[in-house]
Chains A and B, each alone.
Chain A
Amino acid sequence: GGIITQTPKFLIGQEGQKLTLKCQQNFNHDTMYWYRQDSGKGLRLIYYSITENDLQKGDLSEGYDASREKKSSFSLTVTSAQKNEMAVFLCASSIVRGDTQYFGPGTRLLVL
C-alpha cells in the first residue's frame, strides 16, 4: 500500500498573495494530479504530470503554476489569491494516465 500526503491541511492567505500547496506520494506512481473542489461542485482538474519535470494543463490552470521536480512530489502554486476564495485542493496519483487515481486528504484554502 501507499499514501498521499498533502501539506498544509489548512491554508489561510491574503488577497494577492502567492500560496504553495505540496503533495507527496510513496506509491511510486508516474502520474500526479491537482484538482480543485468548490462547495457543491465536482472536482475540476488544474494540472497533471505524467512524469518527473512534465507539466500538463487541465481545465482550470489559469491562475495556477505547478512543479514536478521529483517523481514523488507535485506542488501547486496559487499565483495571486482571490479575496473570499474558498476551496479544497486535492492531489492524486496513478500508475499511468487512465488508471485508477488515489487521492490525498486535501488542503482547505481560505483567502481573507
Chain B
Amino acid sequence: GDSVTQTEGPVTVSESESLIINCTYSATSIAYPNLFWYVRYPGEGLQLLLKVITAGQKGSSRGFEATYNKETTSFHLQKASVQESDSAVYYCALGEYSGGSNYKLTFGKGTLLTVTP
C-alpha cells in the first residue's frame, strides 16, 4: 500500500535558522499522487499548509516551500528562516485515486517542531 515517511521528531531549531523536514513517499498507483503538507499549531486543528498536484512543481505558503520530486519520490518541507510561531506538528501526506473513484489520503507520523528564541 501507500506509505509516507518523514523526519522523526522532535526537531528543535533556533529562531532565524533554516529548516528542512524530510518526506519521502511510496505510491501504489501508476499515476502521480497529490502531495500535501498539513500543520497543527498548539491548540488548533489540523490545517493545510501547502499542496502540489503536479510532479516537478513547487508549493509555497507562509515562507515554507516544498518541491514535488518524482525521481527521488520526495516532498521535503523547507524554510529559510523560522520563527517561534512556526512551532507546530507538521504532517506530510499523499493522496491518490485507486480502484476508480476511491481516493485515499495517507499521512506520515508527523514531526514536532519547536523553535526556540
Residues of A within 8 A of B (CB): 4, 40-43, 45, 90, 92, 97-98, 100-106
Q: Chain B contacts of A100 at CB under 8 A?
A: 36, 48, 51
Check if B95 sits within 8 Å of A90, measured CB to CB. no
The answer to whether A45 touches B104 (Cβ under 8 A) is yes
Smallest CB separation, B27 vs chain A (Å):
14
- B-side interface residues, number (CB < 8 Å): 22
- B47 adjacent to chain A (CB < 8 Å): yes
Q: Does B97 contact A (CB under 8 A)?
A: yes
Residues of B within 8 A of A97 (CB): 101, 103
Residues from chain A with Cβ under 8 Å of B82 in the complex: none
* Interface positions of B (Cβ within 8 A of A): 4, 34, 36, 38, 44-48, 51, 91, 95, 97, 101, 103-110
A40-B109 in contact given A100-B51, A103-B45, A105-B45 (Cβ < 8 Å): yes
Given A98-B95, A103-B45, A43-B107 contact (CB < 8 Å): yes
The CA of A45 and the CA of B105, in the complex, are separated in Å by 8
- Interchain CB contact under 8 A, A42 and B91: yes
How far apart are the CA atoms of A78 and B45 in the complex, in Å?
Answer: 22
A18 to B11, CA, bound (A): 38
A101 touches B109 (CB 8 A): no
Instruction: Point out which of A4, A40, A42, A103 has the most chain B C-beta atoms below 10 A from its C-beta.
Output: A42
Q: Are B109 and A41 in contact (CB under 8 A)?
A: yes
Q: Which B residues are CB-close (under 8 A) to A92?
A: 46
A43 to B42, CA, bound (A): 17
The 10 closest A-B pairs by CB, nearest first: A42-B107, A103-B46, A98-B103, A105-B45, A43-B107, A97-B103, A103-B45, A42-B109, A100-B48, A42-B108
Q: Are A101 and B105 in contact (CB under 8 A)?
A: yes
Given A42-B4, A90-B46, A100-B36, 13 additional A-B pairs, CB 8 A: A42-B91, A42-B108, A43-B91, A43-B107, A90-B45, A92-B46, A97-B103, A98-B34, A98-B95, A101-B105, A103-B38, A105-B44, A106-B45
